[in-house]
Chains A and B, each alone.
Chain A
Amino acid sequence: MVEVLIPPQLRRLCGGEEAVEVGPGTLGEVLRQLQERFNGIYDRLCQPDGRVRGSVLVLVNDEDIRFLRELQTPVHSGDSVRLIPAFAGG
Chain B
Amino acid sequence: MSQSNGFMKALKCRECGREYPLGATHVCEFDFGPLEVAYDYERIRQSLTREKICSRPQNMWRYRELLPIAGEPTVGAKVGYTPLIKADRLAARLGIRELWIKNDAVNYPTLSFKDRVVSVALSRSVELGFKTVACASTGNLANSVAANAAAAGLHCYVFIPSDLEQGKVVNSLVYGANVVAIRGHYDEVNRLCAEIAGKYGWAFVNVNMRPYYAEGSKSMGFEIQEQMGWKIPEHTVVCMASGSLLTKIHKSYQEFSKLGLVQSHGWKIHGAQATGCSPITTAQKAGLDFFKPVKPNTIAKSLAIGTPADGFYALKVMKETGGHGEDVSDDEIREGIRLLAETEGIFAETAGGVTVGVAKKLIAQGKIPADSSAVLCITGNGLKTLEAMLGHCGESRVIKPSLREFETLLASDQTEVAGSR
Contact = CB atoms under 8 A, between A and B. Distances in A.
Contacts of B309: 86-90
Contacts of B243: 90
Interface string B360-378: 0000000000000000000
B293 interface: yes
SS of A interface (majority): mixed
Interface stretch (B28-36, B164-172, B259-267): B28-36
A19 B33 CA distance: 22
Contact of B195 (A10, A64, A84, A90): A84
Nearest to B240: A90
A66 B167 CA distance: 34
B195 A89 contact: no
A70 B34 CA distance: 22
Nearest to B241: A90
B31 A53 contact: yes
A31 B26 CA distance: 24
A56 interface: yes
A66 B197 CA distance: 24
Nearest to B15: A55
B293 to A, nearest CB: 5
A55 B33 contact: yes
B26 A89 contact: no
Contacts of B242: 89-90
Nearest to A5: B195
Nearest to A45: B32
A90 B244 contact: yes
A59 interface: yes
Contacts of A12: 29
Contact of A89 (B28, B186, B293, B312): B186
Contacts of A44: 29-32
A85 B15 CA distance: 14
A84 B194 CA distance: 7
Contact of B29 (A10, A53, A54): A10
Interface in A65-90: 66-67, 82, 84-90
B190 A88 contact: yes
Nearest to A67: B293
A90 B33 contact: no
Contacts of B194: 7, 84-85, 88-89
Interface residues of B, number: 40
Contact of B293 (A62, A64, A85, A87): A64
B230 interface: no
B29 A86 contact: no
A54 B198 contact: no
Contacts of A82: 191, 195
B373 to A, nearest CB: 28
B110 to A, nearest CB: 17
A57 interface: yes
Contacts of B188: 62
Nearest to A59: B191
B187 to A, nearest CB: 8
A54 to B, nearest CB: 6
Contact of B34 (A8, A55, A59): A55
Interface in B263-304: 290, 292-293, 295
Interface string B17-43: 000000000111111111000000000
A57 B307 contact: yes
Given A54-B312, A64-B293, A87 B32 contact: yes
A5 B30 CA distance: 17
B198 A8 contact: yes
A87 B241 contact: no
Given A86-B307, A86-B309, A90-B305, A54 B290 contact: yes
Interface string B189-214: 01101110110000010110010001
A8 B26 CA distance: 11
5 contacts: A45-B32, A82-B195, A87-B27, A88-B197, A89-B190
Given A67-B293, A88-B26, 20 more contacts: A9-B28, A9-B29, A10-B29, A12-B29, A44-B31, A53-B32, A54-B290, A55-B27, A55-B33, A56-B32, A84-B191, A86-B32, A86-B309, A87-B309, A87-B310, A88-B210, A89-B305, A90-B243, A90-B244, A90-B305
Pairs of residues from A and B, 3 with the lowest C-beta to C-beta distance, nearest first: A90-B242, A55-B32, A89-B190
Interface of B: 15, 26-34, 136, 186-188, 190-191, 193-195, 197-198, 204, 206-207, 210, 214, 241-244, 290, 292-293, 295, 305, 307-310, 312
Interface of A: 5, 7-10, 12, 44-45, 53-57, 59, 62, 64, 66-67, 82, 84-90
